[in-house]
Chains A and B, each alone.
Chain A
Amino acid sequence: MGNPMRIRAAEKDGVTEVKVLMNHEMETGQRKDSSGNLIPAHFISELTAKHGDKVVLQAEFGPSVSKNPFLSFKFKGGAKGDKVVVSWIDNKGDTRSDEATIG
C-alpha cells in the first residue's frame, strides 16, 4: 500500500473541482544511482476518480510524470457532502485509494 494522497474537492455552481497531490517516487527507470546501477522503474500507471459509483476521470500515467504528481480536474453533478474517491495502481502492482468529502 502506497503513501496517502491529499485530496480536496469543492463544489461551486454545480461544478466540483478536485485537487489531488499524490505521494509517489515516479522513478523513470532511466536514472542510475551513484554506483552506476540502473534504478528500477516505479511509477503510477493508472488513476481512477469516482463520484459514488460513477467514474468521473480515468487516466493513464507513465514515467514522464513528475515525482509527487499534482492533478486537478472538474466534473459536473457533485453535491456538497458527496464522496470522491481517487485510486491509483503502479507498475509494481501497488495500489492506493483515498477519499474526500465535497465541500
Chain B
Amino acid sequence: MSRFSKTVVAALLAGCALGAHALDRYPGLGRVATAEEVKAWDIDVRPDFVGLPKGSGSVDDGADIFENKCASCHGSFGESNEVFTPLVGGTTKEDVQTGRVKALVTGSFPQRTTFMKVPTISTLFDYIQRAMPWTAPKSLKPDEVYAVLAYLLNLAEVVPADFVLSDQNIRDVQNLMPNRNGMSTDHGMWPGRGMGNGGKPDVKNVACMKDCKTEVKLTSSLPEYAQDAHGNLADQNRLVGGVRGKQTVAPAEGDEKAIAGQPSTNAIATALATEKGCMACHGVANKIVGPSYQDVAAKYKGQDGAEARLVAKVKSGGQGVWGAIPMPAQSHVKDEEISKLVQWILSGAKAQ
C-alpha cells in the first residue's frame, strides 16, 4: 500500500460490509455475487502490483503486436498525435536517473506524452489490458500486454532492445520510470495531502458578507465588430433562470438604442415571444405548428384593422385561417404584451 493510504482501504472495506447488510434488509432481492463473477470484474492492477497476472513478453514480440494492433492510431513508434497525444517522447536518459521528467518543468517538449506523465508502470499495464486497443478492449492476453509494454518502454529508452518484461521484473522497471518521482498529492485536488487534510480546494469562492460591491462594473468587453463572432448569444441561451444572452447580431440600421447597448424594441419583442412560448409553434421565417411570422406579416400587409383582429385572435385562440390546427388561447399573456407582439409580427418580426 505504498501509494494509497489506509483510509481508502478502510472505506472500501466498509463499502463491502454495507453491501452484504443491504441484502439482509431486503430478503428475496438479489444474491451475493459468486467468486467467479467477482473475478471476471476484478481485473485491476494496482501500484503495489496486486492483481498483476503472471506472464512475460519481449520488446521484439511487442513491436510486432504494436504494429498490428496499435500503430494505426498511435504510430509505429508511439509518436503519432493524430488520435491522441503521443505515447512516447520527451523523456531522456537523465530522467530515468532522476525519476522526474525535466521537460515538464522546462516546457522544452511540445506535448505531454504518456511516458512524460505516468509515474507508475502498473497504470500502463492496467490501462492497456483494460482499454486497448480502443476498438477491441480486453482482447489482449497477459503475455501480449507485457510485450507491448516492453516495446513502449524500449521506445522510451527505459529498457534495452533485448528486454523481456515479466511479473518477476516489473518492480525493478518501476524504479526506472522517467516520472516516478513526479506524482504529488500535496495539492488542493483530490485527494490532496494524502487524504485526510480535509483536502483544501485550490479555488476560493467566499460569499461577501460586508462592504460588498453594489453594482456590477464592466471592465472589458468584446469590440463592436467582434460581438457576433459566435452568432447571436440571445438565441443560444437556455431559457432557465434570470440570465439572458445578449443580442449580438449586428443591430439594424438607425437603431441607436441597440447600438448604445440597450436592447431594441425588436429585441425586446423577440425575447418576449420566446419567453411566452410563441416561438415553440411559430418560426420567424418557417412554419412550425403555426404559420411563420413573415407569412402572417405578408398576408395582412396594408390591411386596416388587422392588428386589432389578430390581437383578439391570439388572446382567445382559433383555427381555420392557416389550416385545421388550432392555436390555443394565449390568455397567460397580458393584453399590452399581445399588442406588442402582434405589432412586431406585422412589422416583419425582426430580431433587432
Contact = CB atoms under 8 A, between A and B. Distances in A.
B67 A70 contact: no
Contacts of B155: 6
Q: Which secondary structure dominates chain B's binding surface?
A: loop
A21 B156 CA distance: 13
A51 interface: no
A75 B98 CA distance: 43
Interface residues of A, number: 9
B251 interface: no
Q: Which secondary structure dominates chain A's binding surface?
A: strand
A85 to B, nearest CB: 17
A10 B64 CA distance: 10
B77 A21 contact: yes
Contacts of B63: 8
B110 A70 contact: no
Given A6-B155, A8-B63, A8-B67, A67 B75 contact: no
A90 to B, nearest CB: 19
A70 B89 CA distance: 13
B76 A8 contact: yes
A19 B76 contact: yes
A21 B81 CA distance: 14
Contacts of A19: 76-77
B79 interface: yes
A58 interface: no
A6 B67 CA distance: 13
Interface in B111-152: none
Contacts of A70: 75, 77, 79
Interface of A: 6, 8, 10, 19, 21, 67-68, 70, 103
Given A8-B77, A19-B77, 8 more contacts: A6-B77, A6-B155, A8-B76, A21-B76, A67-B110, A68-B89, A70-B77, A103-B64
5 contacts: A6-B155, A21-B77, A68-B79, A70-B75, A70-B79
Interface of B: 63-64, 67, 75-77, 79, 89, 110, 155
Please list the 3 inter-chain residue pairs (A to B) with the smallest Cβ-Cβ separation, ordered nearest first: A21-B77, A19-B76, A6-B77
